[in-house]
Amino acid sequence: MSAPRRLPVLLLISLACGGGTDKHPSGDLPEVSAARLKEHISYLASDRLAGRGTGTPGYDSAAHYVAERFAELGLDSAGTSGYFQPVPFRHARAVDGSGLVLVGRSGRRALIPYRDYVPVPNFVAPRAEVTAPLLFAGFGVTAPERGYDDYQGVDAKGKIVVLLTGAPSSFPPAGRAHYASNRLKRENAVGRGAVGLLVVRTRDQTFPWDRLVRQSHRGNMRWLDRNGAPTDVSPALKGAGTLSDSAAAQVFEGAPQSLSQVLDAAAAGKPRSFDLPLRATLRTVSTYDRLESPNVAGLLRGSDPHLRDEVVVYTAHLDHLGIGEPVKGDSIYNGALDNASGSAALLEVARAFASLPTAPRRSVLFVAVTGEEEGLLGSDYYAEYPTVPLERMVANVNIDGLALLYPFREMSALGAEHSTLDSTVARVARRMGVTVAPDPFPQEVFFIRSDQYSFVRRGVPAVFPFMGMRSDSGVDAAARFKDWLATRYHLPQDDSDQPMDLEAGARNAQLEFLVGLEIANADERPTWKQGDFFGTTFGQQRAGSR
Ligand SMILES: [Zn+2]
């Protein structure tokens, strides 16, 4: 389908850069400077910015830094207040007075918040309590198109449902990622009449329990709609939380299957659903505060009078976790790789576009988004209240974590296979001498875990280029990445002191630039593949609006 477009696109790029050949990996196109990337990362990840927590002064400094760079590059302001689009949030925390009590044949057991389970605050009721029987409902997934339903033969009405993280391994990666989403599971449970939700972690979790506990002390956020109401809440659900492994084992005591049998069945693909011989009282006391934190948006106008109203949207989240519990004596979660590096790349990709002798045919929008670490909130808000019409957004290219760990020779293009973006990425990769590999960690469902998903959910084809797991330096890339996940990811140790291969980062940013440039200059806008899961699920929302 996309093959006939290949030649014209390459020709256009060649024309745009003065007839450069493919002799150099990137022709005569602007190159991304490793030194500039370093400068941005050093500032954004400095202790001065205190980890850029959503709603903090450190984040605001980062936002001003981005806006100043956008202005220097001559980008049009594309926020609602200059370059800024302020996003209002409710920040909620479950506090003292919250608790979970299990009552079964063997008696009554009180579970301690932030030790035995991580409570989820209630966004609409400061004091919420529910007592109900427990139902184990597998992954909590209902996928009619696959003939799969964890609720088949059981009744969730008036019950607290106990669900596993993730989705069946038998699903293809896209469906697995989609159905693993908390939001979907919560909505499904509420639709079945559930009044509470407890999550049990499967065995393939790479995010350690103690880190989850540490992070959950910070509370949760939701953005507020134009009436000031928190969105993405389910008032019918009176309480929710995630169980520790030992609490989960207690929940399955005396049940038709033990926790370990359940986890075996889950790993094999299809857990059985059944009522648990327990009742639970889940009490949640929540405190609220209101925050505001801006997205930052700048636009480069396209040069083609017929195509310039269409927009390629680049996103990178500017926020990180801020100040938190100290680890090894450090309490600043600087987020150097996650995602000062991607924000730096966003700025340098914008510079590359701005320095083209002729602007690309379509317009290119650069959005540094807030609230990603709080649940993709800034991008969700932007996609809900976009400053360019949603139906004119032809694609989203998301940058979350540059390849800084080793010289890479492979990239994964998460999500590209769902649309014609896969051939775009393939062309760019060839040009740069990089191979494109499938998602190396499908069980991590990265595709729904960063900001591109906010656009995908509204029908916009998206790609999240992600560092590959092969290096040309003899490094065991996968081992190094896993080590990074274990020792630095979402820890204060993701700071500027870690070794960073900025040349690899610059090459990664160059690839991001070329992907957007191809999309911006192509004759046709990207389309979902015929019958694709996301295109079918979400794409029709935009059909007819073109
Ligand atoms: Zn993160």
pLDDT per residue as tens digits for the range 95-122: 999 999 999 988 999 999 999 999 999 9
Distance (angstroms) between ligand 1 centre and the Cα of 44 equals 15
Distance (angstroms) between ligand 1 centre and the Cα of 493 equals 13
Distance (angstroms) between ligand 1 centre and the Cα of 320 equals 6
Torsion sign (Cα): 453, 454, 459, 460: negative
What is the Cα–Cα distance from 546 to 544, expressed in whole angstroms? 5
Distance (angstroms) between ligand 1 centre and the Cα of 369 equals 13
pLDDT at 541: 59
DSSP 68-137: HHHHHTTPEE-SSBTTEEEEEEEEEEE-BTBEEEEEETTEEEEEPBTTTEEEEPPSS-SEEEEEEEEEE-
- Mean pLDDT, the chain, as a whole number? 91
Distance (angstroms) between ligand 1 centre and the Cα of 68 equals 24
pLDDT at residue 543 is higher than 60: no
DSSP 420-473: THHHHHHHHHHHHT-EEE--S-GGG-GGGSSTHHHHHTTT--EEEEEE-S-BSS
Distance (angstroms) between ligand 1 centre and the Cα of 389 equals 28
Q: Give ion ligand 1 contacts, CB < 5 A.
A: 338
Distance (angstroms) between ligand 1 centre and the Cα of 321 equals 8
pLDDT at 436: 92
Q: How far is CA 387 from the centre of its chain?
A: 21
pLDDT confidence tier of residue 2, bands split at 50, 70 and 90: very low
Distance (angstroms) between ligand 1 centre and the Cα of 342 equals 11
What is the Cα–Cα distance from 480 to 406, expressed in whole angstroms? 8
Contact 321, 54 (CB under 8 A): no
Taking the model in full, what pTM does it have?
A: 0.88
Quick one: which of 96, 134, 93, 131 has its CA closest to 113? 96
Range 519-533 average pLDDT: 94
Q: How far is CA 319 from the centre of its chain?
A: 12
CA-based Rg of the chain, rounded to a whole angstrom?
A: 23
Residue 232 burial (CB < 10 Å; 0-12/13-18/19+)?
middle
Contact 154, 275 (CB under 8 A): yes
